[in-house]
Structure 1
């Protein structure tokens, strides 16, 4: 089947999905979570094959993303069950207004439609996105990296086998493609696809944005900063920075640059503790606008908070940035003036995650300033429509002055 046919089938499925009840969607999600739990060994075996084939051809950071372990599997399955607990975002009345007697306007949440997801070596992404798509009544077309092809096929195969057993669920709601040509076709398919979400490196995101007319939601880089203010507590700074850099170094929300106030009196001790945590410190990088993806951390001493904010807004990627401080005024200034999707006070940048925010899961993190920003969960996969209900009302009466709007909120 060619890509255009896959996209048309997804479009048809998306129109049917708009009518799914919350009960049907939640039943599907619970069955999927159980099926993934029951078939863990099959998934791990497929992942083992991918890891074996990729071990000599990918970077350590990509290999880490590719690897599924018990922790990732647990979080993946729990994420699906958490989505069940979330309120259905579809059909919510966001505004109700009487324009005139018997003429009522409603703004109601609805699915986006068909979403194309292009991602690299993150096989757990399939379960995350599928669960959010089901709950938000969207159809998705998934294109994963070649490194994770066996894991991706296995996971989506399990998911679709569950959906096929639910008679109310439309066919072809979740589909998967595999080739570079499929990506090229996806980017041209603006008649059927409503949104593209890339999850991967800067090159991938840049290529997609430059080669499609379809709206793109996502982020290119994860250049996250931590600013250690003059008043910062040493233990807090040490704990937060080490976690933000070492807990998962290849994640997009790992810290890449540390800024230290010149009057912070434990700078040397802090840097020593970071080195003891096996962090490689770089004081004069070739560029500050760089995502290392490993345990390398660039650092710089700054004169004041204004220099720190200016540095972040100049070299950062608008992802997630943090201040370590006991000065509440500085904290508020930092959080107000740093132009990022996430601005934190005294906590690790690794918290920038839909699962940790209680969204159940996420399709990615957006640095966009329209539609959705930060971790994109259920609400980020909805849009709205206006429903106007009347009884033979015509505009001519209002233009002539025969009738008048009263614009009362209901």
Structure 2
């Protein structure tokens, strides 16, 4: 066999092992899965020095190779960030079990009962760039929801991901769970092979750049959950509280500019533009934000001129484009034209205006008088998230546990046959919902 065939065969075997381990995990009790999650948290705490040292080595290599600033920000895993990730692990353990919930319990006829019950998806393939803490979130959510997971981190985070996976495996082994339920891939060739494993992998979740997500979508037959862009907007309405607007705009841009929920474009109603734009420029320039504006904006503040390309660019950096608009309708039209259906926000004291915005803007998250940065699984109380989905079909928005389970229909009878319910003397169904 060629090297490629050997690699493919090896990955197929690995995926088969993950599927087997996932089936065993799926039938464990809630308590057993929660114990495994606590064991993971303890193992991560014990391995913290090794994990931080591995990340420091990754960061040094990344700096030497000129990694882009937004990606470096995501790569860096300091002590505070690791502690936050471990706290997130324990938060997931406290969440209700999403597996085994009865959604429908219905008598079809006497002695013939239907149930719709939630169950794990199976095996997840999660491919992400730069963020090693994402590995911790995803692995924990997979364990809680009874799924196996095959993880592929970016090459810039290999050492970090390996150290984290070793700790997770140690925790799983201590809890009596097969470590094969969480697997780590390290090469680009393995990514391509993973996308071909539709027989063993049930869902692909890509987390990364626009081009990367589109590559995944174009190169697999496995269902893909994710978003290609994070072009988020904030619209400051003529009825906005200006101090509130400035605080929200600043938070939504400078808190974590490389996050997919930070704003890339600011829209300002023309009746307040002369008042709010100079104050906004001062606040944003204080955080070294580069501003680009349309013609009317540039007449009010001295900034660079925005091009048509700026409205459809996800900067993931301290850059913000600004447009002055004549109306709410124009703001909504701009967002629905250039937005990525991720998260959009309005600042206004007019409730009717807010309701119109919320109802007409097409996005997974639509916010009123708060920062787009709240679009996050942890902040929503999901414990963590495997990613954010901007597709119309559910799950949509930050995807936590509920997005990692599907359901199956269970029907139990006592010799019932369909012919009894068809023909001239057909017996009627009762279709009675049960407690």
**TM-score normalised per structure 2:** 0.92
CA distance in 2, matches of 1:202, 1:40: 32
Secondary structure of the residue aligned to 2:354 is: helix
Show the counterpart of 2:73. Answer: 64
Q: CA deviation at 1:11?
A: 1.4
Per-residue CA deviations over 1:38-94 (Å, capped at 9, x if unaligned) read 221111100011001110321011111000023311220111010111000000001
Alignment map for 1:35-74 (pairs within 5 Å):
35-57=43-65, 58-74=67-83
Q: CA deviation at 1:311?
A: 0.5
Show the counterpart of 1:215. Answer: 223
Q: CA deviation at 1:35?
A: 1.7
Q: Does 1:285 align with 2:307?
A: yes
Q: CA deviation at 1:312?
A: 0.5
8 Å Cα contact 1:285/1:298 also seen in 2: no
Counting helix residues as a fraction of each chain, which structure ranks higher? 2
Secondary structure of the residue aligned to 2:388 is: strand
Show the counterpart of 1:86. Answer: 95
Secondary structure of the residue aligned to 2:378 is: coil
Q: Does 1:307 align with 2:315?
A: no
Return the match for 1:373 from 370, 373, 396.
396
Task: Say which is worse superposed, 170-179 or 87-96, in terms of deviation.
Answer: 170-179
Q: Does 1:394 align with 2:422?
A: no
8 Å Cα contact 1:99/1:105 also seen in 2: yes
Alignment map for 1:5-404 (pairs within 5 Å):
5-57=13-65, 58-167=67-176, 169-264=177-272, 265-283=275-293, 284-287=306-309, 288-400=311-423, 401-404=425-428
Alignment gaps of 5+ in structure 1: none
CA distance in 2, matches of 1:112, 1:347: 34
Segments ≥4 residues shifted beyond 3 Å:
none
| Cα gap change, 1:233 to 1:315, in 2 (>3 Å) | same
Q: CA deviation at 1:165?
A: 2.1
Show the counterpart of 1:406. Answer: 430
Per-residue CA deviations over 1:317-343 (Å, capped at 9, x if unaligned) read 000010000000011111111110110
Q: CA deviation at 1:286?
A: 4.0
CA distance in 1, matches of 2:211, 2:268: 31
CA distance in 1, matches of 2:254, 2:409: 47
Secondary structure of the residue aligned to 2:251 is: helix
8 Å Cα contact 2:126/2:204 also seen in 1: yes
Show the counterpart of 2:298. Answer: none
8 Å Cα contact 1:201/1:220 also seen in 2: yes
CA distance in 2, matches of 1:279, 1:285: 17
Task: Say which is worse superposed, 124-133 or 31-40, in terms of deviation.
Answer: 31-40
Task: Say which is worse superposed, 304-313 or 284-293, in terms of deviation.
Answer: 284-293
Secondary structure of the residue aligned to 1:172 is: helix
CA distance in 2, matches of 1:247, 1:71: 16
Secondary structure of the residue aligned to 2:259 is: coil
Per-residue CA deviations over 1:120-148 (Å, capped at 9, x if unaligned) read 10000111001100000000000000100
Per-residue CA deviations over 1:139-168 (Å, capped at 9, x if unaligned) read 00000001000000000100001111222x
Secondary structure of the residue aligned to 2:228 is: coil
CA distance in 1, matches of 2:22, 2:143: 10
8 Å Cα contact 1:234/1:266 also seen in 2: yes
CA distance in 2, matches of 1:64, 1:56: 15
8 Å Cα contact 1:164/1:171 also seen in 2: yes
Superposition CA RMSD, Å: 1.1
Q: What is the aligned length?
A: 409
Q: CA deviation at 1:402?
A: 3.8
8 Å Cα contact 2:111/2:414 also seen in 1: yes
CA distance in 2, matches of 1:44, 1:352: 27
Per-residue CA deviations over 1:350-398 (Å, capped at 9, x if unaligned) read 1111011110010011101223100000001010000111111100110
8 Å Cα contact 1:228/1:324 also seen in 2: yes
CA distance in 2, matches of 1:50, 1:266: 42
CA distance in 2, matches of 1:65, 1:269: 30
Alignment gaps of 5+ in structure 2: 1-8, 294-305
